[in-house]
Amino acid sequence: MIKIIKKEKLAEGVTRLVLNAPLIAQKAMAGQFVILRPTEKGERIPLTIADYHRERGELTVIYQTVGRTTAELDTLGEGDSILNVAGPLGKASELEGMKKVAVIGGGLGCAIAYPQAKALHEKGADVDMIAGFRSRELIILEDEMRACAKLTIMTDDGSYGQKGLVTDALKEKILRGVSYDTVIAIGPPIMMKYVSLLTKEYGIRTIVSMNPIMIDGTGMCGGCRLTVDGKTKFACVDGPDFDGHLVDFDELMRRNATYRSDEQEQMKRFHECNLFKGIRQGEV
- Mark whether 196 and 243 lie in a shared domain: yes
> What local confidence, expressed as pLDDT, does residue 207 receive?
96
Question: Which strands make up the sheet holding 205-209, listed edge to edge?
Answer: 162-163, 150-155, 126-133, 100-106, 182-186, 205-209, 241-243
CA distance 50 to 144: 11
pLDDT confidence of residue 10: 94
Which pLDDT does position 235 carry in this prediction? 86
112 and 79 within one domain: no
Could you tell me the CATH number of the domain that includes residue 72?
A: 2.40.30.10
First to last CA, the chain: 45
Predicted local distance difference test score (pLDDT) of residue 260: 56
User: Is the domain of 141 the same as that of 236?
Assistant: yes
Classify residue 95: in a domain, yes or no. no
**Strand ordering across the sheet containing 81-82:** 81-82, 2-11, 14-20, 58-64, 45-53, 33-37, 84-89
One domain, residues 169 and 211: yes
CA distance 96 to 89: 20
How many C-beta neighbours within 10 Å does residue 211 have? 23
Q: What is the pLDDT of residue 236?
A: 84
Residue 69 sits in the same domain as residue 125: no
Asked if residue 136 belongs to a domain, the reply is yes
Q: Does residue 239 fall inside a structural domain? A: yes
User: For residues 24 and 34, what is the distance between their CA atoms, to the nearest angstrom?
Assistant: 9
Q: How many CB atoms lie within 10 A of CB 249?
A: 22
Residue 191 sits in which domain range? 100-283
What's the CA gap between 19 and 60, in Å, rounded?
6
Regarding whether 138 and 53 lie in a shared domain, the answer is no
Cα 182 to Cα 104: distance, rounded to the nearest angstrom:
11
CATH code for position 196: 3.40.50.80
**Which residues, at least 6 apart from 157, have a Cβ–Cβ distance to it below 8 Å?**
134, 135, 163
76 with 211, same domain: the answer is no
Among the three residues 89, 113, 137, which one is the final residue of a domain in this structure?
Answer: 89
Is 88 in contact with 33 (CB distance < 8 Å)? yes
What is the chain's pLDDT, residue by residue, as a tens digit (284 residues)? 899 999 999 998 999 999 999 999 999 998 899 999 998 888 888 898 999 999 999 999 999 998 888 999 999 999 999 999 998 998 888 999 999 999 999 999 999 899 999 999 999 999 999 999 999 999 999 999 999 999 999 999 999 999 999 999 999 999 999 999 999 999 999 999 999 999 999 999 999 998 777 777 777 777 788 899 999 998 888 888 999 999 999 988 888 777 655 544 554 555 445 444 455 544 43
Same domain, 76 and 29: yes
- For the chain, count helices (H), then strands (E): 9, 16
SS3 201: helix
Instruction: Give the total number of structural domains in the chain.
Output: 2
Q: Do 276 and 147 lie in a common domain?
A: yes
